[in-house]
C-alpha cells in the first residue's frame, strides 16, 4: 500500500467525516423537550453536561491519575461521551435560535485565526 493510501486510511479511522450540519439535523430527531421552555431547557442542559465533563476530570485529579496514562482508558471514553452530550446541546441551542452549527464552527475558527494573526489569542475581551 502506498504511503498516501496509508495516511488516508489512518485519517479516516482517526477522524469522523460527519458534517456539523448533518449532525445538527440528525440530533434534532432525538430532541424531546417542551418547546415553550426550549431556551431554558437547552441552556441548563448545556451547563449540566459541561459539569459532567468537569466532574469526570475532577475524579481523575482526585484519584491522582491526571498525570498518568489514562487517555486510552474507559475514562477517556467516558469524557468523550460527555463532550458528545455537550455537543448535542450546542447543536440544539443553535438550532433553536436558527443558526447552523457548521456556520458557528466556521465563524469561531475565523475569529480565532484572526486573533492569532493579530497576536491577540491571549488576553481577554470578546471583541479583540
Residues forming contacts to Mg ion in the complex (CB under 5 A) are: 49, 52, 82, 85
Q: Please tell me the distance from the alpha carbon of residue 84 to that of residue 76, in angstroms, as a whole number.
A: 12
Those residues whose C-beta lies under 8 Å from the C-beta of residue 19, and which sit 6 or more positions away, are: 102
Q: Nearest distance from residue 10's CB to Mg ion, in Å?
A: 30
Cβ distance to Mg ion smaller for residue 45 or 102: 45
What is the end-to-end Cα distance of the chain in Å, rounded?
48
Cβ distance to Mg ion smaller for residue 80 or 109: 80
Of 38, 37, 36, residue with least CA distance to 28: 38
Cβ distance to Mg ion smaller for residue 81 or 114: 81
Q: Please tell me the distance from the alpha carbon of residue 29 to that of residue 25, in angstroms, as a whole number.
A: 7
Closest residue to Mg ion, Cβ-based?
85
Cβ distance to Mg ion smaller for residue 78 or 100: 78
Amino acid at each position: 500500500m502506498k504511503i498516501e493510501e496509508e495516511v488516508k486510511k489512518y485519517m479516516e479511522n482517526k477522524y469522523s467525516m460527519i458534517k456539523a450540519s448533518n449532525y445538527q439535523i440528525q440530533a434534532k430527531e432525538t430532541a424531546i423537550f417542551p418547546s415553550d421552555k426550549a431556551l431554558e431547557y437547552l441552556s441548563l442542559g448545556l451547563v449540566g453536561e459541561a459539569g459532567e465533563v468537569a466532574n469526570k476530570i475532577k475524579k481523575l485529579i482526585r484519584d491522582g491519575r491526571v498525570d498518568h496514562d489514562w487517555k486510552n482508558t474507559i475514562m477517556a471514553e467516558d469524557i468523550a461521551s460527555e463532550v458528545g452530550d455537550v455537543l448535542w446541546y450546542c447543536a440544539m441551542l443553535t438550532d433553536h435560535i436558527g443558526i447552523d452549527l457548521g456556520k458557528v464552527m466556521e465563524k469561531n475558527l475565523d475569529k480565532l485565526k484572526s486573533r492569532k494573526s493579530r497576536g491577540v489569542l491571549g488576553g481577554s475581551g470578546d471583541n479583540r
